[in-house]
Amino acid sequence: MSETSNEIELRGLCRRFREGEREQVVLDGIDLDVRRGETVALRGRSGSGKSTLLNLIGGIDAPDAGSVTVAKMELTGLSERERTLFRRKHIGFVYQSFNLVPTLNVADNVRLVLELNNVPAFQGSTRIDELLDAVGLADRMESYPDVLSGGEQQRVAIARALAHEPAVLLADEPTGNLDDATAEAVLGLLDKLVRDSSHTMLIATHSQHIALRCDRVLELHNGRLRETTSRPQ
Amino acid sequence: MIPATYRASFSYLLRHPWQLALSVIGIAVGVAVIVAVDLANASARKAFLLSMDTITGEATHQVIGGPSGVSENTYARLRVEYGVRAIAPVVEGMISVDGTSLTLLGVDLFAEQDIRSFTSQAQSADPAAPSDETLFSSFLITPGVVTTSARTAEQLGLAVGDTFDVVADGRSRQAELLATLASDASNNPDFLLVTDIATAQEWLGQAGWLSRIDVRVDDGNEAALDQLRAALPDGTKLLSAAGRTRSTVEMSKAFMTNLTAMSLLALLVGLFLIFNSVNFSVLQRRNLIGVLRALGLTRRQLLAMILIEAGVLGALAALLGVGLGIALGEHLLELVSRTINDLYFRVSVTSISVEPFSVVKGIVAGIGVALVAAAVPAIEATSYQPRLALTRSSLEHRARRALPTVTGIGVVIMAAAVLLIVVSGANLVAGLAAVFLLILGFALCVPLCVSFSSTLTAPLAQKLGGTIARMAVAGIASGLSRTGVAIVALAVAVAATIGVSVMVDSFRGSVSAWLDKTLQADVYTGALRGAMDPDLIDAIRNLEGVEDISTRKRAWVEDASGRTQLRVFDIPPEDFGGAELLDADPAEAWPAWQARDAVFISEPFAYQKSIGAGDSLTLPTDHGPREFAVAATFQSYDINASGVMMSRKTYARHYLDDTIDSLGLYLANGIEADDIVAQVENLSAGQQRLYVGSNANLQRESMRIFDRTFVITDVLYWLTLGVAFIGILSAMLALQLERAREFATLRALGMTPTQVGVMITAQTGIIGLLSGLASLPLGVVMAFVLIKVINRRAFGWQIDMSIAPSILAMSVAFAVGAALLAGLYPAYRAGQSQPAIAMREE
Ligand SMILES: Nc1ncnc2c1ncn2[C@@H]1O[C@H](COP(=O)(O)OP(=O)(O)O)[C@@H](O)[C@H]1O
Ligand SMILES: [Mg+2]
């Protein structure tokens, strides 16, 4: 595997949290390479550190030791501001609880990301139409998040996460708040969109369904990462 | 042991100390302002009453005369021929020692025992000091010996035996401190200089005359009173001592009522504030409340929990407020007593007296406000279905659905205010109540206006500043259940400042125009107190360059219905334009005033008595009560509502008094006012000290006193604005707390802390702008009501309303500035939101 085709490279990544006297080692030396266009499922029990790992990759959090390289950028040395600008350009987030901006309608939620990336307005509008059409919400552009169902909100969140063509899409239990049928539909959509545009995706989940759709499945356990080649039954 | 449910709820508050502190401070300041105003008013009144009581002593009645007082002969006759024992002559006047004003009380120690015991009770710690008897005789024999309280002696830097200068009637006199007087709870001889009656008469220039005769009659002994009355010569009257004191205090009532109203305004803004914070803290605990309800807490238990919490907070804040109020009261007292001294009567208050009643009022107000403010959100919260999460957006929906109803109630309340003004006639308290209804009604309409305007301007914001700007604007309408009340508080506070500023500014303009018209002479001079020396008047009249003079005498006449001030003028006919006659033809009114028994009455007097040109007025004269025709009403901004303008000729026919207290000098062409001022100063030096000033000087001095009167108003409205500022700050902080996840998401999406901060700052700025704009109509309406209703009812005068655009612009700018300032810290905090929070699950 040549160095250049890796979208994500983690080396010796450590993250500890201190709460008073108690120190908790959440990530204890993680090494990982994810190629461009690969989709990776990250499994592990609740509290195993999945979100923590995604935060480190997304530049939201900084590691105590080790290095994170995403889209050829070494994040460890970056300032808070540089990490923000990196995130703005290269990362798309999908959360369990959707996190749409309640004061903006569907179209504006997507537009916000485009504006942050200085996409010209006319170009942005085309992109918004395209994306919302792709997630099946072209007729809900003017709606506000509070009138959408959970599945619809998550579809908007997916459109928002992909709007600026990020290098990496990070999804943290994206179906955790959805019922099975809706989860399946949302997941299908996510999978399709990511593969169509050959994005790199890291998706934290404890759902087996999701894992089945991904190229690789990783298991986080006791602060270490384990590749599970055997697909779960 | 505190139940776990309470701990669960209370620990929430403790974990948000900022919010807790701000709401406590908000109520505390509101309470402090009312306590301070109340204490200052009460202390001034109490000090005045105590000093009146001290001077009055045990006297139940007083014999008073006309402008010159009561003749000594009357006293002698009463005492000797009618054998009234408990009767004492008094000569009273103002003097000054080293610039400090004191009341000079001239008494006859032989007659004092049954009236005032303190005047003869010298206090001496020194056993070697002369005995009471020796003191007593030196008091009678030695001219110029005085006694005063130990505290006043100390303040003046005097020790027993010292001689010092006293300025009385414009002349310097030598006095000697013979002893100090004991003070106790019912006697406070502070700022009182007691001397023998002969000394007082000499110093005050009223030989042969007494200020009054004090009489003590047993309760219910009507026969003695009747006998006494029958023995009195024409022009002297027997009046109840208590009634006289009361009518003096009454004069300042309107002023004190207005101050109280101002202090209630601060509490009203405080009410919005606590409403805001309690509402918020309840809303934020909706999950906790849901859990508790699901666990089986009844609605009643929940309601009790929230109300007890609010009550505890209110009590805490009220206690803090009382402490602050006492401290603030000390400062307000200075302003209040200075204003009372400028305008009404002499009061010397050195320290605030903490009235339990004022303190209780403050505490009750604090707790009451907290409970009322908590009741609405508490009832709302307990109406929730016991499910775990009521989403924020559905809360906002509820809030928005309620808007039209709330606005409707507001309109009804405003209509009620207008109705109240119309039906309440001249009642001041009803007028003030209407102002409060107006504010309340308007306040209820503000949220809908804000919601409307932010919805309307959101697309515009998008055009100007993109999606981030849109979020800033849209956030206002969508956070209305949180920020709405703070916006209202700011709008009300700013409106109040507009109302008061426009009122003061219009008032100032009217007074200035009035002074310009009234003061027609080129130079004014007069005695500082009492009458001018007649020789000096002649000398001034004969000065080179003085073409003509007008004379004035202010005299008080009194009967059982109260005191009336006579302004007696001898004016050259060319100067008749000086008084603006409101309801009569000057061509007819002036000659009548000049020649016949006709008088002019001031506008406040006319309003108070509901009389005008064509009516008649009965006044006590030295020859008994006489009826005078009212020839006209004249415009006046003199605080003494009881003004009657009388010509010198008319006065001379009815009163045995030819003294003059001031002069207006009309100068020949080309004569400099300043030259004449200097010449008059020369003449008066060594004779009688006079004040002298050019027309311009006098106008300037009058305006200075005018402005001084409103210093206290300024202080009060800055405090009100301060409370509103705290409201915005705590609302923005609370909102920021509430929206932590939203900000975290924005940060995760790549907004920098600066971008988030700028967005919040823009939002508060717009909130300020909207509050400022919303405050304009209320402010202007308030100004109108203050001018046309409140001032008219309180003081009787009419002011021309003029709205300076600069006041409006400044107020809006202030609202924006205050909001921006209040938004800085919340904006900073929002910028510091950890993007990781977005990942965390609720
Ligand atoms: N900011 C933080 N402070 C302290 N502990 C934290 C923090 N963030 C996460 N943790 C701890 O790290 C562990 C892993 O958390 P997380 O990454 O959220 O797990 P997962 O997403 O796999 O459920 C948990 O035990 C959690 O308590
Ligand atoms: Mg997680």
Would you say B659 and B519 are in contact if contact means Cβ atoms under 8 Å apart?
no
Which is nearest to B770 in space by CA: B441, B479, B499? Answer: B479
pLDDT at residue A2, rounded to an integer: 46
Q: Match 């250049």 to its residue by tokens.
A: A4
CA B636 to chain centre: 20
Residue B6 has pLDDT above 50, yes or no: yes
What is the rounded distance in angstroms from the CA atom of residue A218 to the CA atom of residue A201?
Answer: 13
- ipTM score assigned to the predicted complex: 0.85
C-beta of A221 in contact with ligand 1 (< 6 A): no
Q: Do strands A168-172 and A200-204 pair parallel, antiparallel, or not at all (unpaired)? A: parallel
Q: Which of A18, A28, A48, A52 to mutate to test the pocket of ligand 1 (most atoms within 8 A of CB)?
A: A52
* Amino acid B85: pLDDT: 64
How far CA B687 is from CA of A73, A201, A205, B172, in Å, comes to 97, 104, 104, 9
Tokens of residue A113, six digits: 């990301």
| Domain assignment of residue A199, yes or no | yes
Q: How far is CA B31 from the centre of its chain?
A: 17
Q: Which atom of ligand 1 is nearest to the CA of A55?
A: 17
- The answer to whether residue A203 is domain-embedded is yes
**A112 and B392 in contact by Cβ < 8 A?**
no
Q: Whose CA is nearest to atom 6 of ligand 1?
A: A17
For residue A58 and ligand 1, the question of a CB distance below 6 A is answered with: no
The pLDDT mean for chain B works out to 83
- Residue A140 within a domain: yes
Task: Among A50, A56, A112, pick the best mutation site for testing chain B contact (most B Cβ within 10 A).
Answer: A112
Whether the CB of A46 is below 8 Å from some CB of chain B: the reply is: no
Spatial distance between the Cα atoms of B371 and B373, rounded to a whole number of angstroms: 5
Residue A223 Cβ < 6 Å to ligand 1: no
**pLDDT for residue B735:** 75
CA distance A192 to B718: 63
- Asked if A71 reaches chain B (Cβ–Cβ under 8 Å), the answer is no
Nearest CA to ligand 1 atom 26: A47
Q: Which of B271-280, B762-771, B778-787 shows the lowest mean pLDDT across its residues? A: B271-280
B296 pLDDT tier (thresholds 50, 70, 90): low
Residue in B466, B747, B753 nearest the CB of A115: B466
Collect all residues of chain B within an 8 Å Cβ-Cβ radius of residue A145.
Answer: 393
Asked if residue A91 is part of any domain, the answer here is: yes
**A60 at interface of B, judged by CB pairs closer than 8 A:** yes
Q: For B592-643, what is each residue's pLDDT tens digit?
A: 898 888 999 999 889 888 888 889 999 999 988 999 999 999 988 876 656 8
pLDDT higher for B389 or B706?
Answer: B706
Residue B729 tokens, joined: 């700050």
Q: What does the pLDDT average to over B645-650?
A: 92
Ligand 1 within 6 A of A46 CB? yes
**Among residues of chain B, what percentage have pLDDT more than 70?**
89
A159's CB contacts (< 8 A; 6+ apart) are: A110, A128, A131, A132, A134, A135, A137
Residue B297 clears pLDDT 80, i.e. is over it: no
Q: Looking at residues B16-23, what average pLDDT do you find? A: 77
Report which bound ligand comes closest to the CA of A96.
2
Contact B397 A93 (CB under 8 A): no
Torsion of the alpha carbons at B812, B818, B820 and B825, rounded to the nearest 10: -170
> Which element (helix H / strand E) includes B746?
helix B740-748
Measured between beta carbons, the chain A residues lying within 8 angstroms of B839 are 51, 54-55, 60, 95, 172
Give me the mean pLDDT over the B785-795 stretch.
86
Chain B residues near residue A157 by CB distance under 8 angstroms: none
Cβ-nearest to A102 among B393, B466, B470: B393
Q: Which of B157-166, B473-482, B678-687, B829-838 is least confident?
A: B473-482
**Which ligand 1 atom sits closest to the C-alpha of B840?**
18
Distance (Å, rounded) from C-alpha B485 to C-alpha B727?
8
Is pLDDT above 80 for B3? no
Residue B84 clears pLDDT 70, i.e. is over it: no
Return all residues near B226 (Cβ < 8 A) that are at least 6 apart: none
Nearest to A95 among B471, B474, B839 (CB): B839
Q: Tell me the ligand closest to B836's alpha carbon.
A: 1
Q: What pLDDT score was predicted for residue B537?
A: 92
State the smallest CA–CA distance between residue B11 and chain A in angstroms: 20
**What residues does A19 pair with on adjacent strands?**
A22
| Residue of minimum CA distance from atom 24 in ligand 1 | A47
Asked if A73 reaches chain B (Cβ–Cβ under 8 Å), the answer is no
Distance from CA of B477 to the nearest CA of A (A): 9
Q: Does A83 touch chain B (CB under 8 A)?
A: no
Compute the distance between CA of residue B504 and CA of residue B720 in angstroms, rounded to an integer: 17
E strands in B346-491: none
- C-alpha of B257 from chain center: 7
Write down all domains in chain B, each with its CATH number in brackets. Answer: 1-58+246-390 (no CATH), 67-234 (no CATH), 447-522+703-842 (no CATH), 529-688 (2.40.40.20)
Q: Which residues fall within 8 angstroms of residue A197, CB to CB, at 6 or more apart?
A: A162, A165
Q: Which residue puts its alpha carbon closest to atom 27 of ligand 1?
A: A47
Confidence (pLDDT) at B418: 93
Tokens of B533: 């020396």
Q: Reply yes or no on whether the pLDDT at B432 is more than 90.
A: no
CATH number at A208 reads 3.40.50.300
Residue A37 CA to ligand 1 center (angstroms) comes to: 28
**In whole angstroms, what is the distance from residue B559 CA to residue B565 CA?**
12
pLDDT > 60? residue B172: yes
Shortest alpha-carbon distance between residue B750 and chain A (Å)? 4
pTM of the model as a whole: 0.79
Cβ contact B836–A97 (<8 Å): no
φ, ψ of residue B745 to 5 degrees: the values are: -60, -45
Residue B795 · residue B604 · CB < 8 Å: yes
Which residue, among B452, B300, B328, has the nearest Cα to B28 in the 3D structure? B328
- Per-residue pLDDT tens over the stretch B46-69: 888 888 888 888 888 889 888 888
Query: Does ligand 1 lie within 6 Å of residue A83's CB atom?
Result: no
Q: Mutate which of A24, A42, A46, A53 to test ligand 1's pocket (most atoms within 8 Å of Cβ)? A: A24
Please give the distance, rounded to the nearest whole angstrom, from the Cα atom of residue A205 to the centre of ligand 2.
8
Amino acid (one-letter) located at B415 = A
pLDDT tens per residue, range B271-289: 676 676 667 677 677 667 7
Contact between B839 and A81 using a beta-carbon 8 Å cutoff: no
**Residue B317, pLDDT above cutoff 80:** yes
Asked if the structure places residue A116 within a domain, the reply is yes
| Mean pLDDT for the stretch of residues B78-98 | 82
What is residue B385's predicted lDDT score, i.e. its pLDDT? 58
Cα-to-centroid distance, A24 and ligand 1 (Å):
9
Token pair of B106 as six digits = 């001239």
Q: CA nearest A164 in B: which residue?
A: B749
**Greatest alpha-carbon span in chain A:** 55
- Domain span holding position A100: 38-62+78-230
Per-residue DSSP letter, B108: -
The residue whose C-alpha atom lies closest to atom 25 belonging to ligand 1 is A47
Residue A17 maps to a domain: no
Ligand 2 centre distance from Cα of residue A56 (Å): 13
Among A20-34, A84-98, B121-135, B154-168, whose mean pLDDT is lowest?
B121-135
φ/ψ of B558, rounded to 5, equals -145, 140
Give the rounded percent of residues in chain B with a pLDDT score beyond 90: 15
Could you tell me which residue, B682 or B2, shows the higher pLDDT?
B682
Which amino acid appears at position B675 of this protein? D
- The span from the CA of B537 to the CA of B551, in Å, is 10
Question: How far is residue B38's CA from residue B49's CA, in Å, rounded to a whole number?
Answer: 16
Residues in the 5 Å CB sphere of ion ligand 2: A 51
Does the C-beta of A19 come closer than 6 Å to ligand 1? yes
Residue A5 lies in a domain: no
Confirm if B81 and B233 have CB atoms less than 8 A apart.
no
User: Closest partner residue to A84 among B467, B752, B838, by Cβ?
Assistant: B752
Structure tokens given for B557: 């006449």
Residue whose token pair is 């990982």: A32
Residue B11 has pLDDT above 90, yes or no: no
Q: Please tell me the predicted confidence (pLDDT) of residue A232.
A: 47
> What does the alpha-carbon distance between residue B173 and residue B198 come to, in Å, rounded to a whole number?
14
**A13: in domain:** no
For residue B828, give the 3-state DSSP assignment: helix
- The confidence score (pLDDT) of residue A1 equals 44
What pLDDT does A169 receive? 95
pLDDT higher for B717 or A150?
Answer: A150
User: Could you tell me which residue, B589 or B136, shows the higher pLDDT?
Assistant: B589
Query: How would you write the pLDDT of chain A (233 residues) with one tens digit per residue?
Result: 444 578 999 999 999 998 888 889 999 999 999 999 999 999 998 889 999 999 999 988 889 999 999 999 999 888 888 888 899 899 999 988 888 888 788 998 998 889 888 888 888 899 999 999 999 999 999 888 888 998 999 999 999 999 999 999 999 999 888 888 888 888 888 888 888 888 899 999 877 777 788 899 999 999 999 888 645 44
Q: What is the pLDDT of residue B295?
A: 67
Residues 181-220 of A with CB under 8 A from B: none
Chain A: give the shortest CA distance to residue B406, in Å: 23
For residue B116, the tally of other CB atoms under 10 A from its CB is 25
Radius of gyration from C-alpha coordinates of chain A: 18
Positions of E strands within B675-809: 690-694
- Distance, in Å, from the CA atom of A31 to the CA atom of A25, rounded to the nearest integer, reads 16
Taking the C-alpha atoms of residue B359 and residue B369, their distance in angstroms, rounded to an integer, is 15
How many structural domains does chain A have?
Answer: 1
| pLDDT for position B124 | 54
Indicate the burial class of B530 (C-beta count within 10 angstroms; 0-12, 13-18, 19 or more): buried
Residues belonging to chain A: 233
Q: Which residue out of A14, A17, A206 has the highest number of ligand 1 atoms within 8 Å of its CB and is therefore the one to mutate? A: A17
Structure tokens at B646: 């009388």
B369: Cβ–Cβ under 8 A, 6 or more apart, which residues? Answer: B27, B30, B267, B270, B271, B274, B314
